[in-house]
Amino acid sequence: MIRIYDFKGVSNQEKKNDFSKREYSVQDLLLLVWIVAKVLLVVICLLGVVAYLTLAERKVIGFIQSRIGPNRVGPQGLLQPIADALKLLQKEIIFPTASNKYLFIIAPILTMTPALAAWAVIPFDQGMMLANINAGVLFLFAMTSLGVYGVLISGWSSNSKYALFGALRASAQTISYEIAMGFALVGVLMAADSMNLQEIVLRQQGGIWHWYWLPLLPLFVVYWISAMAETNRAPFDVSEGESEIVAGFHVEYSGMSFALFFLGEYANMALLSFVAALLFMGGWLSPFEGIPFLAQAFAWVPGIIWLILKASFFLFLYLWVRATFPRYRYDQIMYLGWKVLIPVTIVWIIVVGFAIQFGVGPWFSH
């Protein structure tokens, strides 16, 4: 559990001076070390997840396409991500002559940082989180929206036509899908009556039919489509558009600066999968809750395992969709976002409003 330093009982005057004059106790130092250790734990685990997500992607898509995927580095290709990372570390970072060097370097960092920062509010189990803040959903939303700056700046600073096209496409797309996603989240907030992620999960207690995927099914679908569009994944990968604008915004990047974009993208994928699991699939709650024998039989499974399984399912969906669908055209994506997804969410928010007013079903009767 996190203990946040309590300012209550300290006078204003003291507050002003306390940072310079206060004596730090050993306990404070330990607290700091403990917090940093937890942050590091989450970040390292996350980087591991990202690394193996790239391998999983190649293996899963390989399986779908009836081929093998990487199987040469290590047993069954398990060391492939490490080999990839080592290769990228050795590569030279090339600066295009006409580029704006500072922005060029800042852009990948700007993509990567919010993708990592957003993990601060993700509860992995009851009470297992870095920061239990009341506006958790808002924080998440803010952080995922910041990612677009990295893309926009990278496209502009590389001073390449293809990169600029990619950046423009990406920013237009991300901004419009943010609205659909925001509305989908509004539905969840209304249903749960809270912006705290832990609260939202706890509100879904009572088994698989109590989770929000059922009463908020249209919002769930919209959320998931927007999540794919937000992360610029196929079939919404117009900003990369391999066959159209080559690699879009990161066409001029190489080496580690290129890798940062990838890390950011995959960290975002994992993030949105976890959020989907938390908001709509009951987070760390067991799917067997309320079922007589199964509930007891699976009571020993820690919540984090359920959460990871649910998130993995969503991550698998990402890969499955990528291997199956063709790419949308840029204007068709906008059409889908503005003319289909946003109206659907607005209608369903009204429906949810009525459902709450009249206390429908097991979901809104509290």
Partner 1 sequence: MSELRNYTLNFGPQHPAAHGVLRLIMEVDGEQILRLDPHIGLLHRATEKLAETKPYNQSIGYMDRLDYVSMMCNEHAYVRAIEKLYGVTPPIRAQYIRTMFDEITRIMNHLLWLGAHAIDIGAMTVFLYAFREREDLMDCYEAVSGARMHATYYRPGGVYRDLPDKMPQYEASPYKKSAEIEKMNENRQGSLLDFIEDFTRRFPGLVDEYETLLTDNRIWKQRTVNIGIVSPERALALGFTGPMLRGSGIAWDLRRKQPYAAYDQMDFEIPIGKTGDCYDRYLVRVEELRQSNRIIKQCIDWLRKNPGPVMTDNTKIAPPKRVTMKKDMEAMIHHFKLFTEGYTLPEGEAYAAVEHPKGEFGVYLVSDGANKPYRLKIRAAGFPHLAALDEMCRGHMIADVVAILSSQDIVFGEIDR
The minimum distance between CB 56 and partner 1, in angstroms, equals 17
Among 237, 252, 265, 289, binds partner 1 (CB under 8 A): 237
| Footprint on residues 298-327 left by partner 1 (CB under 8 A) | 323-327
Among 246, 256, 291, 295, binds partner 1 (CB under 8 A): 246
229 binds partner 1 per the rule CB under 8 A: no
The minimum distance between CB 62 and partner 1, in angstroms, equals 9
**With CB under 8 A as the contact rule, which of the stretches 133-141, 150-158, 239-247, 309-317 interacts with partner 1?**
239-247
The minimum distance between CB 97 and partner 1, in angstroms, equals 17
The minimum distance between CB 80 and partner 1, in angstroms, equals 17
Name the residue nearer to partner 1 (CB basis): 172 or 311: 172
Contacts of 58 (CB under 8 A, 6+ apart): 69, 70, 80
Q: Are 345 and 255 in contact (CB under 8 A)?
A: no
CB atoms within 10 A of CB 328: 18
Name the residue nearer to partner 1 (CB basis): 22 or 329: 329
241 binds partner 1 per the rule CB under 8 A: yes
Name the residue nearer to partner 1 (CB basis): 76 or 194: 76
The SS3 of residue 6 is coil
67 binds partner 1 per the rule CB under 8 A: yes
Give how far the C-alpha of residue 150 lies from the chain's centroid of Cα atoms, to the nearest Å. Answer: 16
Name the residue nearer to partner 1 (CB basis): 283 or 337: 337
At residue 343, φ and ψ (nearest 5 deg) are -60, -40
Compute the 3-state secondary structure of the chain and give helix, strand, coil in percent, each to the nearest 5: 70, 0, 30
Q: Are 319 and 59 in contact (CB under 8 A)?
A: no
262 binds partner 1 per the rule CB under 8 A: no
The number of CA neighbours under 13 Å toward the Cβ of 364 is 19
The structure tokens 């993030």 sit at 271
329 binds partner 1 per the rule CB under 8 A: yes
The structure tokens 């979901």 sit at 363
- HEC sequence for 262-299: HHHHHHHHHHHHHHHHHHHCCCCCCCCCCCHHHHHHCC
Distance CA 285, CA 125 (A): 9
The minimum distance between CB 348 and partner 1, in angstroms, equals 22
The SS3 of residue 253 is coil
| Footprint on residues 136-165 left by partner 1 (CB under 8 A) | 161-162, 165
25 binds partner 1 per the rule CB under 8 A: no
87 binds partner 1 per the rule CB under 8 A: no
Residue 258, both tokens: 């290129």
225 binds partner 1 per the rule CB under 8 A: no
65 binds partner 1 per the rule CB under 8 A: yes
The minimum distance between CB 151 and partner 1, in angstroms, equals 17
97 binds partner 1 per the rule CB under 8 A: no
Distance CA 282, CA 302 (A): 14
Residue 97, both tokens: 């002559």
Site residues, partner 1 (CB under 8 A): 61, 64-67, 161-162, 165, 234-235, 237-238, 241-246, 323-332
